[in-house]
Chain A
Amino acid sequence: MMKSAVSFSKTWMRENFRRYWIVPVLGFMGYFLSSILPVLLCYQRFDIVSSYASISISNQNPAIIGIDCILAVLMAVCVFSYLHNSASVTMIHSFPSGRGQLFDASALSGFFMMLIPVAANGILMMSLSGARTDVSDTVLASELFSPLRCLEWIAETMIIIFFVYALSVLAGVLAGNRTIHTLLALFLNGLPFVLVIIIRMAESMFLYGYSDEILANWTLRLSPVSYMALKGTGSVPSGLQYELLYLPAAAAVLIIARLVYRRVKLEREERACVFPLIADIICILLTFICAVPSACLMMVVLTSGAHINNSFRIRYLILFVIFSAVYYLISRAIADGITHVFNRSTLKKFGIYAVIAAVFLCFTVFDLSGYSTRTPETSDVAAVEITADLVSDVTGYAPLRLTGRAAVNKTIALQKELIDSREVNDADADWSTDITITYRLKNGTAMRRTYSCMYSKDHPESFRALQTLFAAPEVIEKFTGRISKFQSRASNISLSLDETALQIHRSDWSRLFSAYRKDLRSISGSTLKTLMKNSNLYFLNVEQGNNESTIYLPVQKSDRNTMKFLQSRGYLKELKTLNSESDK
């Protein structure tokens, strides 16, 4: 009996659905338990779960992101599991289909199986829009779970899943067995994070002033998983239009996986990695990723915060070499599936690793590029941004941006002092504050350094440089300008002492801010010391706009004008009374 219009692709997709239906069911249960059930349980008291619901719908819930990743990796391992067994490889590839069609059928079936629980959960989320609360100032469920936001959640979740799935599919084509497939999928997806952590660890240990935010932000944007985390911090532009960029990236990964699949030598299945070159690359990466932190951690344990000197560097190198050799042999044994890995071939490949590691060490341990001591020329700097803990309250946690030549010169002078004082032991310092300097250069690049600026009686030079900078007219103007901005957007102001707060009458605001600005203009070294000691007595809590944010301005004894005004209006006395009553 002849049958027409048969299709192995459709048959294979159908069979994948039949075999792996449990995975989307589990995925749906995970999403339901993480996002829907908490709201259902508090349906009449939505205020209890509104924050949780908010982070869930905006794809910043770690549990949901975890489910996304697990679902994608698991699905890829399932639909490509036939590649990792000699018998199934023979049978499946003997069916009437080209490799490309087989890959498409497998990949598509996995994709659709992941879409089902996400779409189902997203649609169910719309039903949560009726959740109620009697508490005012709670974000409305009808806004959070509007059809548009639920559709956005579906789209964002599918972007994450699709990306992780694409990398996991590529891992499946490269790997020779299921275990390595799973590990390689996790490795490829986690590689940006791991590399950032490793590089940060090594460079912050050896490169004085190392500041990695630029590198970290760009590296962490390589994956939509980390992008979603950064979205909440405001350090990346947010919006579906930016997230959609991950789709072509994921599609490109799948196309590469398909091309590789067509070329893969199936006789190598059941080995760790079907492509010897990929196995070599992974061994090198794994060795590097394990050796760097191992050596760093061991040095921390052995030296307990000693300064970086040549002795430290040599000990680090020795540890790095030992750890590299050990980890390389282990990864080689896993990749080759044998324990006897001491041979010429292994030695040659280790040599390649040694060259790459040597380059890294030269620029890290020995700082051949001069990172630690480099300062820009004033003429090259377009603007400088300064973030320092001790003035973050005053600046509203935004960087202080300076463009004047004098301010730039003083910043460079401060940086030079900080570099010269790097040998000063932290234990000798009386107080310290972290300071980040970002130079926006005229060529469009940025140079950023982070230091700990210490006040030490025996070594006051860097502190004096900081004081000189903060006394600069442009800085004072920026400080007072910020205060004026806070004043213009103030909706409510209170004075607090410990846990007690007292409302400042609106009629007093103008004179209060005037006094505060006057004190800022005469910011002195003793003021800075006090700020470093963090022994602020009072705080002015300035609420901005309609509950948007609150600025906390420190008020110290040395702020004579502000203290005098508050004293004259009776606020200090009243607050002290309230504070002692609350203590009782």
Chain B
Amino acid sequence: MIETRGLTKKYDGFQALSGLDMTVPSGSIYGLIGINGSGKTTVLRHLAGVLRQDAGEIRFDGEDVWENAAVKQHIGLVPDDLFFPNGYNLAGMKKIFAGSYAAWDDRRFHEMTQAFRLSETARLRNFSKGMKKQAMFCLVMSTMPKYLLLDEPIDGLDPIVRKLVWKYIVDDVADREMSVLVSSHNLREMEGICDHIGILSAGSMKMEREMDSLRGDLHKVQIAFGAGVPENPFAGLNVLHHEKRGSVELLLISAPRDEIESRLRVHDPLIFDILPLSLEEIFIYELGGDDDEISSLIF
């Protein structure tokens, strides 16, 4: 499990993180989402032990990560901004990783480089952005990490490679109970992979939920009652957003689907559609602007 409690960081007068509480359960894939500048990369750098927080704690299965080489042995970070020393190829980088991580798996490395069709002898500076990302992914995954931190892992990858990346991640989560924290803007892809979601806004956690309960709770409803509009048909329901377009009413309701159906069908609506919100729509709702902007994006 990865935990942060009250994580706070300020630099140059800017509050990057503000009392962030986050829990990544063991063997889960946690998606960290947020608008640009919300602090996602800063969180990952703190978790990897690169930056030191001003206040708060970061623990990996109860152990503090700061200056803890033993904990960092089990952490793998694939950053968004990649670095390879000048003149190096994958074989050279392999030596660095193999010499640094006790759990390095040579066989796995060769298997992955072949699966991704990466040359171990070609200079990394000649790789495309996507290939560099794949290369870093192979290196990090071959250290057999217990905790995998990914910053925009599929940015720049083609659909086939993306599938392969997720396959390796999901397999390791299933086989080894690896805990994964992934930050990405590709919410559609994350929706299909992540089992936990955290929405970051202005350095603090706006919402943190299991994916199933999130989907189960938030629904988009379109309803029209016809001539006899009942009085207060939505009483007892947690209506988060409500607008009218002509005779059709558009709502965001936080309640189980069954409850919504049972409460609204009694009024015999002419039109009644109930849809789960996608992750993207949840993100927009949680972090979007005023009601007009939300409705134009969601409805």
Contacts and interface: CB of A to CB of B under 8 A. Distances in A.
A336 to B, nearest CB: 11
Contact of A265 (B11, B73, B101): B11
Contacts of A101: 69
B100 A96 contact: yes
Given A91-B83, A93-B49, A267 B11 contact: yes
A86 B81 contact: yes
A15 B107 contact: no
B72 A95 contact: yes
Given A8-B99, A85-B83, A94 B50 contact: yes
Interface in B141-194: none
B86 interface: yes
Contact of A15 (B75, B96, B103): B96
Given A11-B95, A14-B99, A87 B79 contact: yes
A266 B85 contact: no
A94 B77 contact: yes
B285 interface: no
Interface in B254-285: none
B72 A267 contact: no
B227 interface: no
Given A87-B79, A94-B49, A11 B100 contact: yes
6 nearest A-B residue pairs (beta carbon):
A11-B99, A87-B83, A96-B72, A94-B48, A87-B81, A8-B100
A97 interface: yes
Contacts of A3: 98, 101-104
Contacts of B77: 90-91, 94
A88 interface: yes
B82 interface: yes
Nearest to B109: A1
A401 interface: no
22 contacts: A6-B102, A6-B104, A7-B99, A12-B96, A12-B100, A15-B95, A18-B92, A86-B81, A87-B82, A88-B83, A90-B48, A90-B83, A92-B83, A94-B75, A94-B79, A97-B72, A98-B67, A98-B69, A265-B11, A266-B51, A267-B45, A268-B11
B103 A2 contact: yes
A52 to B, nearest CB: 38
B219 to A, nearest CB: 40
A1 B105 contact: yes
Interface of B: 11-12, 42, 45, 48-52, 67-70, 72-73, 75, 77, 79, 81-83, 85-87, 92, 95-96, 98-107
A96 B85 contact: no
B263 to A, nearest CB: 50
Given A94-B77, A96-B72, A89 B50 contact: yes
A91 B172 CA distance: 22
B125 to A, nearest CB: 13
A94 B85 contact: no
B11 A6 contact: no
Interface in A53-103: 85-101
B69 A90 contact: no
B242 to A, nearest CB: 43
Nearest to A267: B11
A1 B67 contact: no
A100 B100 CA distance: 16
A86 B72 CA distance: 19
Interface in A1-49: 1-4, 6-8, 10-12, 14-15, 18-19
A90 B67 contact: no
A87 B99 CA distance: 21
A162 to B, nearest CB: 26
A268 B51 CA distance: 10
Nearest to B149: A94
Nearest to A101: B69
Nearest to A91: B83
A270 to B, nearest CB: 11
Contacts of A95: 72, 100
Interface of A: 1-4, 6-8, 10-12, 14-15, 18-19, 85-101, 265-268
A86 B82 CA distance: 9
A24 to B, nearest CB: 17
A8 B95 CA distance: 11
A130 B103 CA distance: 56
Contact of A93 (B50, B100, B107): B50
A100 B83 CA distance: 22
Given A11-B95, A96-B73, 8 more contacts: A6-B104, A15-B95, A19-B87, A91-B83, A93-B49, A94-B49, A94-B79, A98-B69
Contacts of A94: 48-50, 72, 75, 77, 79
B96 to A, nearest CB: 6
Contacts of B73: 96
A90 B78 CA distance: 10
Contacts of A268: 11-12
Nearest to B68: A98
A1 B107 contact: yes
Contact of A90 (B81, B98, B99, B104): B81
A10 B51 contact: no
Given A15-B96, A87-B79, A96 B101 contact: yes
B160 to A, nearest CB: 26
B51 A267 contact: yes
A97 to B, nearest CB: 5
A99 B72 CA distance: 12
A200 B273 CA distance: 88
B50 A90 contact: yes
A10 B99 contact: yes
Given A11-B96, A99-B67, A266-B51, A2 B83 contact: no
A100 B81 CA distance: 24
Contacts of A88: 83
A19 B85 contact: yes
Residue from B42, B70, B86, B102 whose CB has the most chain A CB atoms within 10 Å? B102
B72 A1 contact: no
Nearest to B54: A265
B9 to A, nearest CB: 8
Residue from A3, A10, A96 whose CB has the most chain B CB atoms within 10 Å? A96
Nearest to B76: A94
A97 B71 CA distance: 10
Contacts of B70: 96
A268 to B, nearest CB: 7
Residue from B11, B51, B98, B99 whose CB has the most chain A CB atoms within 10 Å? B99
A152 B109 CA distance: 50
Nearest to A263: B52
Contacts of A267: 11, 42, 45, 51
Contacts of B100: 6-8, 11-12, 95-97
A78 to B, nearest CB: 11
Contacts of B96: 11-12, 15
B226 to A, nearest CB: 59
Contacts of B103: 2-3
Contacts of A99: 67
A58 B85 CA distance: 40
Nearest to B86: A19
B18 to A, nearest CB: 16
